[in-house]
Structure 1
Amino acid sequence: MTDADLAVTAVGAAADAINAHVPQLVADKFASKLFAQDPTLWGPAAESESAKRLSWVGLATSSRPLVDQITSLRSKFAEQGLDHVVLCGMGGSSLAPEVICATDDVPLTVLDSSQPDMVRAALDDRLEQTVVVVSSKSGSTVETDSQRRVYEQAFKDAGIDPTERIVVVTDPGSPLDKEARETGYTVFNADPDVGGRYSALTAFGLVPSGLAGADIGRLLDEAESVTVALSADDDANPALRLGAALGGTRPTRDKIVLIDAGTHAVGFGDWTEQLIAESTGKDGKGLLPVVVGDSPTGDRPAEGRRTSQAGDAGMRDESPRDQLADELWVRLVAPDDESQPTGDAVVNVGGSLGAAMLLWEAAVATAGRLIGINPFDQPDVESAKAAARELLGKGTGETAAPAYTDGAVEVRSAGPDFLGDSATVADALRALFAQLPDSGYLAVMAYVDRIADQSLADVRIPLARKLNRPVTFGFGPRFLHSTGQYHKGGPADGIFLQVTTAPTEDLPIPGREFTFGDFIASQAGGDAKVLADHGRPVLRLNMTDHEAGMAQLQQAIAEVCGA
C-alpha cells in the first residue's frame, strides 16, 4: 500500500450496508456522475443548490496554481521575520487548515471564537511577527469581520500597516472581496462553486496552511492520486463503500463514533465532524458524529500506551462498553494499517490526509443520496445566525431572567419546561437527563475560551458513562458551523447543556456598537432560542464568576455521575 492509497474495510451491519447498496450505486453510475458534477443525483429539490456546489471534485487539479503563489508569499513574509500565522475563520474556513497544519506539525493559531478572553489572548501573542489570514466565503461572517477589525486596530496602534500583514480569502465578488481590494490587502479568491465544508483543497484550506509551512503541494498530490479510484463505477470504490456504510445501515445506525485508532492525521475527527453533521442533519434525518479520541468512552490511554489495533474496535481493555444498537464505529487508522475491524458495526478507514479528505467528501455525498437529503445546504445554521442578530439588536443575549441562581451559576431552561422544583445545579442536570430518549444523545455546548478552558471537554467522559448514550462536546461559537445544524435539523432525540460565562474583561469591536461579550452572549441566546423553537430541551448554565462557576459545575457533574 502506498502512502496515498485508501482502505475501507467493514464488518457487521456496516458490511451488510455495503453489500446492499454499492451494487446499485455502481449500476446507477453514481461515482462517475458525481465527479462529472451531475446536480441531479440528490433529487429535484436539491438540484439548484448542488449545481453550484460540486467543483470540489476537481480541486486536486484546479487548485495547483495556488501552490506557487502561496509559496512565494510565504517567502516574502519570512524575509521580513513574519513567522506567526493567525487564521480568523469559522467552520470550514478554519477546521481544514487546523488539521492540515497539525498533521504537518507546523504552528498555526486558529481564532474561531468571539469569546473576549480568547480574542485578547490571540492579539497579545507576538503581534510584531504576525500575519493574519481572514477567511470568509460569504464575506459577511460577523465573527470573522469582528476579528479582522480588532487586528486592524492592533496593527495600527503598534505602528504597523495592516495591508502588509492581512491576507484575505473569500469568494469573488463578495462584500469582503470588494472592500479588501479597495483597502489594498492581498486577496485570494476561492472557487465559488464549493461549499465551506468541502473547501479543504481550495484557497480556504491551502492559503493559511501554506503560509504556516505545510506541504500543500503534497496534499494535492495525495488527492489527485485517488481521484480515478473514487470516480470509478466499481464495487471496490472506497467512497461508495464508506458512503454506504455511513448512510445505508438498516435500521439506520445514525450515531457515527469516530475513533482515533492510529491515524497520522491530527484532529481529523473534528474536520470530519463538520462534514458529516452539517451535510446530513436536516429534514429530521441525519448522522451524528461523536468524536471520542481513542475509545468510545472517551478515555485517555495511560502514559505510553496505545489502543489495541485489532480485536477490540479501539477500546481499552480496562474501560469496555458494548456497542450501542444505533452506533456505527469508524476507526481512523494509519495508511498502512491492514488490521481487520471487529464488532457489530465497524469500519476501518485509512489513507493519507489529502486522499482521505477527498474520500470523506465523496462518501458523505454518497450517504446523502442514501439518506434522502441535500448534502450541500445548511438551513438551520442560517436560522441560528438570524436569531443571534435579533438578540444582538436588542442589546442582550438573554431572553428571560434565570429560573434560579445557585452560588455562581444562573440556571435557565429553554424549550419544554423540565426544571420542576429543582433548586441546585445538580438538580437541574438530573432534570435535563430525565428528558433523554432511549435512542438520544446529550450535546454539551460551551461558550467559553476554547484554549484556556480546554479541560472542560473532559466532562464528556463521566457523562457518557453515566448516561450510557453518546455525548458530544462543542465549543461555541465554533460548533454552530458544524454540529449546530444537526442539533436543530436532525432527528429530535437530543438534549442540550449550554455553558456560558462572564469574560474576565470584555473587548470592544472597532466600528461596532456591540462588544465581543455582547456578541457571544447573543450567539448563545440565539442558539438556545432556535433549539427551543424546535422543541429541544436546553439547560442553560451561566457562570457569573468564571472560576467559581466552573468549579461548581464540575462538582455538580461529579455528584450526578457518582464520580
Structure 2
Amino acid sequence: MSEVEFAAGLAVRADAPADPSQARAQLVDDGVPAKLAAKDATLWGADAQPEASIRLGWIDTVERSRALLPQLAELTAELADLDHVVLAGMGGSSLAPEVIARTLGRPLTVLDTTDPHQVRAALGDRLASTVVVVSSKSGSTVETDSHRRAYWQAFLDLGLSEAEAGRHFVIVTDPGSPLEQTAREMGAFVVLADPNVGGRYSALTAFGMVPSALAGVDVAELLDQAAELGEGLSSTEGNPSLALGALLGAAALEGRDKVSLAEDGSGIVGLGDWAEQLIAESTGKLGKGILPVVVESPEAPGATGDDVLTVVVGGATDMATPPAPGTVAVNGPLGAHFLAWEAATAIAGRVIGINPFDQPNVTESKENTKKILESGTPTIAATFTDGPVTGYSSAPAQTVEEALKALLDGLGADGYLAVMAYLDRFGDATAAQVRPLLAAASGRPVTFGWGPRFLHSTGQFHKGGPQVGSFLQITGAVAEDLAVPGQAYSFGELQAAQAAGDRQALAGRGRPLLHLHLTDRAAGLERLLAAARSLGA
C-alpha cells in the first residue's frame, strides 16, 4: 500500500519499507510539527537545548535570505567581467551550491580538496577572469584558508596589485569570524551569513545563495520554493517533512539504519552528496545514527538490503506512478527539497534520540592532522607491495585481492564499508568505480567519499555512529607538489597529514582499516579496480 504526503509541489511517497505510524503518532501527540516551526529548542532534550537554541535559524532563514537579493544583484553586476566562479569551501559551505549549479546547469568550479594536482589544475584555469568565493562559517577551516592563500598568491603572480587581487574575492562567513577581518584587510567583497544556522543546514543562507547567484542561478526562485513548503511545517497533515522524518527515524529503530540515496533521472542532480552530509553528521553520534549511502542508480549494488531504507529523489512529481516496492520516493522542486530534508533530519533525530545540531567527533581528525603537521607523518612499514600499490593491512595479505577479500569478509551482518579516497576528484575520477564493485562483491552497503571533503560529512558518523564500519583508505603519490603560501607545509603534506590523522582516529577505535597507497596513480587505480572486479566474478 503506497502512502503519499504532498505540499508545495513536493511529494513523499512510500511503499511501506518501514512502519512509521507509531513514530508519527507520537510526534503529533507531542506537538512536534508546531514546536519545530516555532523553533522550540527543547525538542531534543535538555542536553541539546543550548546548542539547538542557536542552531534553528534554518527554519525561517528564507526570509532573511531574501534581504540578500539586492546585494547579490549588485555584486553580480559589479563582477560581471569575472565569469569563472570558483567556490572554495568544505562540507556545508560547498555541497549545496554544487547541487544547485549541477541541477540548474550553471558552471561552478568547486574546490573542496587538498590534493595538489586538483588545486594546481584549478589555479591554472581562466585565472584572469576568476572570482573566488571563499566560504567558511568558522573562518578557520584549514582547507579553505589554504585555497585562499593559493589564489591570492596566484593573482599577485599574475601581476595584479593587492587592491586588484582583492576584487577577485568574495568572502562568505559568520559575523565576527577571523575570516571577516582577513577579508576586510584583503579588500574583498564580504557577505555575512546567518549566524544561527549550522553549516550543514545552510543551503538557503548566504553559503548557498552567493556562489549560486554569481554562477547565474535565479536564487529567488529557490527561496520561493522553500518558503512555500515552510508554510506547512507546523501541519500534522500534508507535511512531507514530517512524513519523511518519521520514516527515517522509524526505519532506523526497526533496524533499517542505512538509507540509500539515488536519483530517479527526473531533474535533481547531486542531491545525495548534500543529503549525505546532512544526515550523517546530524545523526551519527552516541553510537547511534542513520548511514547515508549514495548510489549511482536505484538498481545499483547496495541500494537495497534488509537493513537499508531505499530512497529515490527527483524533480518531477509523477503522482500517478507508485514508488517501487519497498522504496521511498521524494520528488519536487530543489528549494523545497533543501528545507524538507533539513526538517526531516531534525525530526528523525528526535525519534532516534540524538542532538541533530552538534558534531562531537569532527574535531578529532583535525587535531590529529595538526599534530602530524607539526611532528611529521609517522613512518609505518608496508605489509605488502603489489605492483603500483603498496598495502598496509592488519590481515595476512600479499595482493590487493587478498587484502580486499579479508576486509569484506569481516564486514558482518550489520556492517558497512567506507571507501575514503585522498585523490584528485577529477583527475582520479575512476576511483569512484570501486564503490559498486565492492558493494556487489560483499552484498553490504558501501559508501565512497573523497578526502578530505568526507571528513566534513560522513567523518562524524565513522567515529560517532554505530561502530560497525570497516574502512578502505586510498592515497596516491604526489607527482608535483604545491606550496601553501605563508605556511610551513605544502598541499601534499597537508593531504598526507589529513589521511594519517583519520587513520589514527579509526585505529583508535579498533575498526578494520586497509590503507592502499598508489605509487603510480593511474596504474594503481587500474590494479585496484581489477582486483575489485575479480572479487565479484
Q: Could you say which residue in structure 1 is the equivalent of 2:107?
A: 107
What is the one-letter code of the residue matched to 2:11?
A
SS in 2 for 1:379: coil
1:356 and 2:337 correspond: yes
Q: Could you say which residue in structure 2 is the equivalent of 1:206?
A: 209
Runs of 4+ in 1 over 4 A off after TM superposition: 1-4
For 1:11 and 1:545, locate their aligned partners in 2 and report how far apart those are by CA, in whole Å. 47
May I ask how many residue pairs the two structures share in their alignment?
528
* CA-based RMSD: 1.6
For 1:88 and 1:3, locate their aligned partners in 2 and report how far apart those are by CA, in whole Å. 35
Q: Could you say which residue in structure 2 is the equivalent of 1:324?
A: 305
1:542 and 2:522 correspond: no
- Post-superposition Cα deviations, 1:63-122, rounded to whole Å, max 9, x if no partner, equal 1111111111111111xx210000000000000000111111110000000000000000
How is 1:494-533 mapped onto 2 (pairs within 5 angstroms)?
494-533=469-508
User: Of the candidates 192, 196, 201, which is equivalent to residue 199 of structure 2?
Assistant: 196
Given that 2:17 and 2:328 are in contact with CA atoms closer than 8 Å, whether structure 1 keeps it comes out as no
Shift of 1:183: 2.6
User: Of the candidates 284, 287, 292, which is equivalent to residue 284 of structure 1?
Assistant: 287
Given that 1:3 and 1:351 are in contact with CA atoms closer than 8 Å, whether structure 2 keeps it comes out as no
1:343 and 2:346 correspond: no
What is the one-letter code of the residue matched to 1:526?
G
Shift of 1:3: 10
Shift of 1:254: 0.7
1:371 and 2:373 correspond: no
1:181 and 2:184 correspond: yes
Given that 1:7 and 1:335 are in contact with CA atoms closer than 8 Å, whether structure 2 keeps it comes out as no
Q: Could you say which residue in structure 2 is the equivalent of 1:7?
A: 11
User: Of the candidates 404, 421, 432, which is equivalent to residue 457 of structure 1?
Assistant: 432
1:389 and 2:389 correspond: no
TM-score by length of 1: 0.91
How is 1:34-183 mapped onto 2 (pairs within 5 angstroms)?
34-78=36-80, 81-160=81-160, 161-183=164-186
- Post-superposition Cα deviations, 1:273-322, rounded to whole Å, max 9, x if no partner, equal 11111111111111111111322425xxxxxxxxxxxxxxxxxxxxxx99
For 1:486 and 1:296, locate their aligned partners in 2 and report how far apart those are by CA, in whole Å. 25
What is the one-letter code of the residue matched to 2:75?
L
TM-score by length of 2: 0.95
Q: Which runs of 5+ in 2 are unaligned?
A: none
- Post-superposition Cα deviations, 1:401-429, rounded to whole Å, max 9, x if no partner, equal 2223222222113xxx4x13x21222111
SS in 1 for 2:60: helix
Q: Which moved more, 1:106-115 or 1:180-189?
A: 180-189
Shift of 1:219: 0.6
Overall identity of the aligned pairs, in %: 54
For 2:299 and 2:285, locate their aligned partners in 1 and report how far apart those are by CA, in whole Å. 25
For 2:25 and 2:238, locate their aligned partners in 1 and report how far apart those are by CA, in whole Å. 10
Given that 2:6 and 2:240 are in contact with CA atoms closer than 8 Å, whether structure 1 keeps it comes out as no
For 2:345 and 2:529, locate their aligned partners in 1 and report how far apart those are by CA, in whole Å. 36
For 1:40 and 1:3, locate their aligned partners in 2 and report how far apart those are by CA, in whole Å. 27
SS in 2 for 1:155: helix
Q: Which runs of 5+ in 1 are unaligned?
A: 299-320
What is the one-letter code of the residue matched to 2:102?
A
Given that 2:94 and 2:110 are in contact with CA atoms closer than 8 Å, whether structure 1 keeps it comes out as yes
For 1:275 and 1:437, locate their aligned partners in 2 and report how far apart those are by CA, in whole Å. 26
Shift of 1:263: 3.6
Q: Could you say which residue in structure 2 is the equivalent of 1:245?
A: 247
User: Of the candidates 401, 420, 424, which is equivalent to residue 426 of structure 1?
Assistant: 401
Shift of 1:533: 1.1
CA separation of 1:333/1:186 partners in 2, compared to 1, >3 Å: closer, same or farther?
A: closer
Given that 2:315 and 2:334 are in contact with CA atoms closer than 8 Å, whether structure 1 keeps it comes out as no
For 1:554 and 1:534, locate their aligned partners in 2 and report how far apart those are by CA, in whole Å. 28
